């Protein structure tokens, strides 16, 4: 949740017209928004709550975006913004992890507005009891212990199959997560056609920290997820989202041999003043955590905040 001073600053900036001025003077711009889970209305947030945005808040975000930007599919975003001769903001909407809340409440809001989006899927974790960062998070609003997170990512490679047994051995309690805070099953993902405009991208097989794996293992994680999505779904687009937003030059090089493009989870605008922020394999996104206000979203999409 935005602190008092930060919230006040966001309101002052937007009411003073700073975001609007930046939008008028900087064009075209393009942004990729990164959400994780959408919590259905009336349901409690659980797990690592920063990743779980309430449905009502998400709906307000979408209404604001529709009023101030052109929403385009991810695989058309960079070309659309570069080919634009006018001024304006282009936005692609993405979700990491294929949470059930996203695939129900989130898609409901998108479909109601006719908006495109891409969901990045780790097939090896579909149908599980939840992701390790949610199951190991303390109850309430407290964040995940940074020491635990660091050990899980660096020593245990971000892999559920290693992290959960280690946590149990350490006597760390596991949260029992509600259905919306768990990933969908393979059957739920593949059992019917996705709504028009909803596409799927790769998120590695096991949601691994690619930077901690040997090169061959990292490429196997990437390639295996792509092959499954190509064979089992009809909505795949050839993009990867780096798990945890972690990447290295070697990881990006590996991604370039498999995918058309790859995304970080941070970094701000993807196109500013008509110029791309990076090459195809380090495309930045704007992470949207729980508690981000409309003013905060507007300022990030204006380029005034990252």
Q: What is the pLDDT of residues 277-303, one digit of tens each?
A: 999 999 999 999 999 999 999 999 998
Q: How far apart are CA 214 and CA 27, in angstroms?
A: 41
pLDDT of the residue at 15: 54
pLDDT of residue 1: 45
Residue 139 to residues 144, 173, 174, 278: CA-CA distances in angstroms?
Answer: 10, 10, 10, 38
| Structural domains of the chain sorted by starting position, each given as residue range(s) with its CATH number in brackets | 4-302 (3.20.20.370)
The answer to whether residue 29 scores a pLDDT higher than 80 is: yes
User: pLDDT exceeding 70 applies to what percent of the chain?
Assistant: 89
Q: Tell me how far apart the alpha carbons of residues 57 and 39 are, in angstroms, rounded to a whole number.
A: 10
Indicate whether 26 pLDDT > 70: no
Nearest-angstrom CA–CA distance, 90 and 107: 20
Residue 96 is inside which H or E element, if any? strand 89-96
Using CA atoms, how far apart are residues 28 and 5, in angstroms rounded to an integer?
A: 31
The pTM assigned to this predicted structure is 0.92
Between CA 108 and CA 110 the distance in angstroms is: 6
Cβ burial, residue 249 (10 Å; 0-12/13-18/19+): exposed
- Inform me whether the pLDDT recorded for 132 exceeds 80: yes
| DSSP annotation of 102 | I
What are the tokens at 140?
Answer: 């309430």
Tokens of 235: 């909505």
Q: Which of 15-19, 90-94, 226-230, 248-252 bottoms out in mean pLDDT, i.e. has the lowest?
A: 15-19
Nearest CA to 246 out of 222, 217, 282, 210 is that of 210
Query: Of 209, 225, 234, nearest to 158 (Cα)?
Result: 209
Q: Closest Cα partner for 302 from 80, 14, 72, 81?
A: 14
Residues 274 and 271: their CA atoms lie apart, in Å, by 6
């Amino acid at each position: 949740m935005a602190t008092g001073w930060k919230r006040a600053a966001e309101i002052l900036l937007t009411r003073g017209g700073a975001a609007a001025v930046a939008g008028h003077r900087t064009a075209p711009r393009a942004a990729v928004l990164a959400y994780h889970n959408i919590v259905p209305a009336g349901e409690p947030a659980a797990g690592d709550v920063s990743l779980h945005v309430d449905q009502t808040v998400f709906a307000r975000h979408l209404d604001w975006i529709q009023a101030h930007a052109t929403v385009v599919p991810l695989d058309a975003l960079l070309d659309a913004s570069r080919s634009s001769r006018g001024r304006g903001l282009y936005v692609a909407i993405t979700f990491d992890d294929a949470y059930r809340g996203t695939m129900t409440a989130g898609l409901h809001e998108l479909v109601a507005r006719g908006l495109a989006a891409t969901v990045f899927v780790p097939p090896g974790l579909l149908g599980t009891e939840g992701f390790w960062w949610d199951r190991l998070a303390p109850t309430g609003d407290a964040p995940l212990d940074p020491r635990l997170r660091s050990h899980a990512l660096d020593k245990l490679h971000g892999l559920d199959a290693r992290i959960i047994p280690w946590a149990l051995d350490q006597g760390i309690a596991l949260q029992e997560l509600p259905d919306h805070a768990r990933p969908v099953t393979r059957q739920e993902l593949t059992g019917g056609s996705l709504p028009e405009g909803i596409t799927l991208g790769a998120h590695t097989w096991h949601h691994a920290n690619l930077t901690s794996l040997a090169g061959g293992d990292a490429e196997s994680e990437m390639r295996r997820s792509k092959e499954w999505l190509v064979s089992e779904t009809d909505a795949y687009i050839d993009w990867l989202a780096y798990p945890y937003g972690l990447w290295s030059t070697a990881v990006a090089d590996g991604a370039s041999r498999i995918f058309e493009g790859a995304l970080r989870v941070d970094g701000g605008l993807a196109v500013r003043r008509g110029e791309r922020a990076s090459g195809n394999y380090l495309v930045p996104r704007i992470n949207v955590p729980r508690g981000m206000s409309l003013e905060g979203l507007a300022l990030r999409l204006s380029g005034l905040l990252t």
